[in-house]
Structure 1
Amino acid sequence: MYAKEKRVAIVGAGPSGLAACKHALARGFRPVVFEAAASVGGVWRRTLASTRLQTPASAYRFSDFPWPPPTTAEALFPRHDQVLEYLAAYARRFGVMERVRFGCKVLGASYVGVTEREVAAWERWSGNGEAFGDGTGEWHLTVRHGGGDGEPTYRFDFLILCVGRYGVPKLPTSPHGRGPEVFRGRVLHSMEYSAMAHEDAAELVRGKRVAVVGAGKSAMDTAAQCAEANGSRYPCTMVYRSAHWMVDPKVARRVKFLTLTSTRLAELMVHKPGEGLVLSLLATILSPLRWVTSKLTEAYFKRSIPMKKHGMVPDCGFGQASLGWRLGILPERFYDMVNDGSIELKKCGSVAFSADGLVLNDGDGDGERAAVAIAADVVILCTGFDIDRPLHDVFSSSSPWFGDTIVSGSGDGVLPLYRHCVHPRVPQVAVVGYVESGSSIHHCEMMAKWVAHLLDGGVRLPGVRDMERGVAEWARWGRRARRSCGGFFLKSCVASVATWYHDQLCRDMGYSPRRKAGLLAEWVQPYGPTDYAGIQ
């Protein structure tokens, strides 16, 4: 069978799945995209009515597909519906929409033809170092069709997983008898609340006492939306243990945040995986400069945003937060709503439920000291996501060994994937879009380009042991980054080393990593999606 006739499956039609399909098509393949929902867009299909991009549109875009011309001052941070339309337009422009099978949920994937023991003994990825192996093994996908056509099994030669990180909610644990089961109102996770029709979400909170648990981006957006609906008559109570760095976009623009974080010069100040002795010494020498820059930025934000007045100064420094990308954009008029009583902020050590709402404690929850009762009719848990579950669940029913292998090493701060795309011991599978940063769509596209070149033979992988050494370099870097962030580090976050990571992908694909015109521009101009438009 010719390579272009090989059967390629893509799971998910969010931004990463669209990019993976587009670039596979560009290399001559005819992939099949399985999407459980009725439209493309991934997480952008289920957002609050007020949700906007957290990064400027110029950074959150595909390299060869610009946004339509802005028509309003707010176009710098497009609304959720504008993002959805942008993604759909991309899919239509490059023929992706015709390859998507909507209403098809992948229930499980099993590798057939080679035993797990044989796979574990291979010295080359997929047996021979090539994307499709020697033709012995193949993936069988069990798919549930929304139309009620049963659960047929489909056979593929290569599997690209674009399932994202935000599909399984993480729910807090509570002491026995003090959990949601004792509450007489309604408890739901922010994922469920965001997935509701906007009219239904508004009706749920209107005229009710709402408590929001959490202090991240989703918590602040949810609290702001509830405050807009009810005002000070029924204030929304936001309960949190520690505040996050949430910045006003106008303030962020004034400090040229992208320039501070997206240049090669900025990357010289941080340690990088596999950097070598010279760059390691240089990063150590320049670290005081990065510290001073971060402290000056932090001081400016504290002076410009009334976080200290309201007890919302984060426990970690701004430098730590930016390294681990624990950052977000402050909802419009958030602190105005705090000032007028529409939002009440309550910091605590632990949270438990009662019949009438929540009980807050200053300690760890074992004692009764300083207990504060918060009356509520609705509690919305903005407590994050189990980010490994979507990947693990693809394999859990049929090939649990592969699932356990691909999400192992959780203490390292990164998934054990070579180039963040393929596991050395899991054949004929690529993961696109798991990495985290300020502009995840940019990294998704670069990964999609790399995987498409791998399918076409344009990327030659080293032996399994060398791949594992590459994974180990990133694991060591992840542990170091996590320590540097004081634990405030998003798993597989490449925000501080994005250009370094893209350099690796470019070299693998046979392209020069130097994408700027001139030496000065190469070092001081921010890198962004359009710099990689020539890589197809």
Structure 2
Amino acid sequence: MDQKQVVIIGAGISGVVACKYCISKGLNPIVFESQADIGGVWAKTIKTTRLQTFKGLYQFADFPWPSEVIQDFPTQKQVLNYLQSYASHFDVLKHIHFRCNVKEIDYQESSLSLSSSWSNWNGISQTIPQGKWKVIVENSLSEPPSTKVHEADFVILCVGRFKDVPNIPEFAPGTGPEVFQGKVIHSMEYSAMDHEKAEEFVKGKRVVVVGFQKQGLDIAMECSSVNGPEHPCTIVYRKDRWKLADFAPWGIPLKYLYFNRFSELMVHKPGEGFLLALLATVLSPLRWGISKLVETHIKSKLPLAKFNMVPECSFAKDLRSCLLAALPADFFNRVEAGSIFLKKSPSFSFYNDGIMIDGDNKPIQADVVILATGFKGIQKLQNIFTSQDFGKLIAVSPDSRVPLYRECIHPKIAQLAVIGFSESISNLFTSEIRCRWLVELLDGKVKLPSIKEMEKDISNWDEYMKKSSGKYHQRSCLTGLDIWYNDQLCKDMGWNPKRKNGFWADLFQPYGPLDYANP
């Protein structure tokens, strides 16, 4: 076939996997990575970072973890070594251009009128709609940095949503960081420091960490290790969320409760028929009971009631909203010892010597405030387009869900895919099968439906996500329906979606990446 040029932007996990599968189809992709190494968020993290997902779910389908990694939750260094071994094994590295920052991409005929031809496109082996992408790349390895324009027939965006554009809270005039005499940084800046420098940065300081998800927890633990109760670290957070004390509530591995086909029969699904809808309704009491079972286990393991931290929502809601985090070992012991203080408040403000908690007359004195407040991933995605029209299509709603068919293709943006922008229990797992689906699309084996059909499917998934997570809906999250989602991709590719041997095994055994090793 006539070989077309595929450009992949980003060499994190999604970018490396996308490159590997493009190579497998005989393509010659170019990958542009702004940093000096692969890995994305895993390339540089704080010292104590570990994988939060059980490694059996966080592995490549055709490249299992090496036997010498015996921990269930590997360290950052082990994850990075694993990714580098994968890239080396499949000869991906020669396709990557490091220190090359993509400034913007522009469709040469930047018009939405191409939508009709895009909807009829059935793969890179066929006639692609008119136009090409201009990819404007700044190479920082040259002196001075040089800019070059590359042309692409297809662009795969693997830019990630958890880096680069920090989410900074807004404050009324006179109540923001500008009035504070100490240091204010985002967790992104803290993570970028060398480990020794990070320790020196917080040593002997009164530190406030804003945010109670994974990164905020890890930073608070590091600060408490360095300073102890002499200079306690204060965590300021808005809402109580369920935190996992372990992955086997009452001795039952979590994967048997939430990551097999039977567990997915208990929930309504986008595109389900009458019988599946009826079954989900009939089994809803069991779904409720399983959630309560997990909650009672967590409350028996963690002193949530003592610290008034029992969440209002169910465990299942947090799971389906991708808002779960594993609690670091020894966390509440640090709280009991006075090394960590907890402050819950919907808002706060700065004053010259620290912060003021909304509704609390006692100020919190601080030398350093670290904002572990997440990232503006959707803005990052918007900013890469020269065309404002495409930017508006990406940000169609304020809930940070990008409208993508199969969580990959925007119906009205031709010759472009987005990988790794929706979450699941294992982002590596879903990114890999999505890349396999994408290269089958590029090869003409997968056929896109019409724009209207794609938009209807997107709407169905959007409605499901909003209903399943309720008011806690923030972004695209597949957790709880991972198998159902994979089934759609398998059917598109002509694979058998049932990957186990036998009816009962397929119903009750947990699914994982190795089940998809072969088509």
- Under a length normalisation based on structure 1, what TM-score does the superposition of the two structures give? 0.93
Q: 1:438 aligns with which of 425, 434, 437?
A: 425
On the 8 A contact 2:250/2:297 being kept in 1, the answer is no
Q: 1:426 aligns with which of 400, 413, 417?
A: 413
Q: 1:304, 1:332 → 2: CA distance? A: 12
Q: 2:87 aligns with which of 64, 87, 91?
A: 91
Q: 1:96, 1:289 → 2: CA distance? A: 46
1:292 match: 289
On the 8 A contact 1:178/1:354 being kept in 2, the answer is yes
On the 8 A contact 1:127/1:134 being kept in 2, the answer is no
2:333 match: 336
Equivalent position SS for 2:229:
coil
Q: 2:110, 2:190 → 1: CA distance? A: 43
1:476 match: 463
On the 8 A contact 2:137/2:148 being kept in 1, the answer is yes
Deviation at 1:251, TM superposition (A): 5.2
Equivalent position SS for 1:142:
strand
Matching residue's letter, 2:373: T
1:166 aligns with 2:162: yes
Equivalent position SS for 2:376:
coil
Q: 2:237, 2:461 → 1: CA distance? A: 32
Matching residue's letter, 1:91: A
1:151 match: 147
Q: 1:312 aligns with which of 301, 309, 312?
A: 309
Equivalent position SS for 1:208:
coil
1:43 match: 41
Deviation at 1:305, TM superposition (A): 1.1
Among all aligned residue pairs of Structure 1 and Structure 2, give the percentage whose two residues are the same amino acid.
43
Matching of residues 179-218 of structure 1 within 5 Å: 179-218=176-215
Pick closer, same or farther for the CA change 1:279–1:126 going to 2, 3 Å. Answer: closer
1:532 match: 516
2:101 match: 105
Pick closer, same or farther for the CA change 1:253–1:327 going to 2, 3 Å. Answer: farther
Equivalent position SS for 2:146:
coil
2:55 match: 57
On the 8 A contact 2:247/2:253 being kept in 1, the answer is no
2:114 match: 119
Q: 1:324 aligns with which of 321, 324, 345?
A: 321
Matching residue's letter, 2:29: P
Deviation at 1:488, TM superposition (A): 1.9
Pick closer, same or farther for the CA change 1:303–1:187 going to 2, 3 Å. Answer: same
Q: 1:444, 1:134 → 2: CA distance? A: 24
Matching residue's letter, 1:422: I
Equivalent position SS for 2:209:
strand
Matching residue's letter, 2:173: H
On the 8 A contact 1:10/1:32 being kept in 2, the answer is yes
Q: 1:59, 1:152 → 2: CA distance? A: 39
Pick closer, same or farther for the CA change 1:433–1:278 going to 2, 3 Å. Answer: same
Equivalent position SS for 1:140:
strand
1:128 aligns with 2:121: yes
Q: What CA deviation, in whole Å up to 9, does each residue of 1:180-214 have, x standing for no partner?
A: 00000100111111111111111100111101111
On the 8 A contact 2:424/2:478 being kept in 1, the answer is yes
Structure 2 unpaired stretches of 5+: none
Number of aligned positions between the proteins: 515
Q: What CA deviation, in whole Å up to 9, does each residue of 1:82-134 have, x standing for no partner?
A: 1011111110000111100000010100011x3414224x1x42553434753
Matching residue's letter, 1:459: V
Pick closer, same or farther for the CA change 1:534–1:174 going to 2, 3 Å. Answer: same
On the 8 A contact 1:361/1:372 being kept in 2, the answer is no
Q: What CA deviation, in whole Å up to 9, does each residue of 1:305-344 have, x standing for no partner?
A: 1122123222322121112121111112111111111111
Q: What CA deviation, in whole Å up to 9, does each residue of 1:57-83 have, x standing for no partner?
A: 1110110111111455xx110001110
1:80 match: 76
1:448 aligns with 2:435: yes
On the 8 A contact 1:126/1:428 being kept in 2, the answer is no
Deviation at 1:289, TM superposition (A): 0.8
Q: 1:403 aligns with which of 391, 396, 411?
A: 391
Matching residue's letter, 2:344: K
Pick closer, same or farther for the CA change 1:479–1:135 going to 2, 3 Å. Answer: closer
Deviation at 1:278, TM superposition (A): 1.8
Q: 2:157, 2:250 → 1: CA distance? A: 35
2:347 match: 350
2:366 match: 376
Q: 1:68, 1:422 → 2: CA distance? A: 33
On the 8 A contact 1:8/1:29 being kept in 2, the answer is yes
Deviation at 1:446, TM superposition (A): 0.4
2:503 match: 519
Deviation at 1:410, TM superposition (A): 4.1
Matching residue's letter, 2:272: E
- Under a length normalisation based on structure 2, what TM-score does the superposition of the two structures give? 0.96
Matching of residues 224-243 of structure 1 within 5 Å: 224-243=221-240
Q: 1:253, 1:103 → 2: CA distance? A: 48
2:378 match: 388
Equivalent position SS for 1:33:
strand
1:68 aligns with 2:58: no
Matching residue's letter, 1:275: E
On the 8 A contact 1:442/1:529 being kept in 2, the answer is yes
Q: What CA deviation, in whole Å up to 9, does each residue of 1:413-471 have, x standing for no partner?
A: 74211111111111000111111011110000001101111111111111222222222
Pick closer, same or farther for the CA change 1:497–1:305 going to 2, 3 Å. Answer: same
Matching residue's letter, 2:267: V
Deviation at 1:475, TM superposition (A): 2.0
Deviation at 1:375, TM superposition (A): 0.6
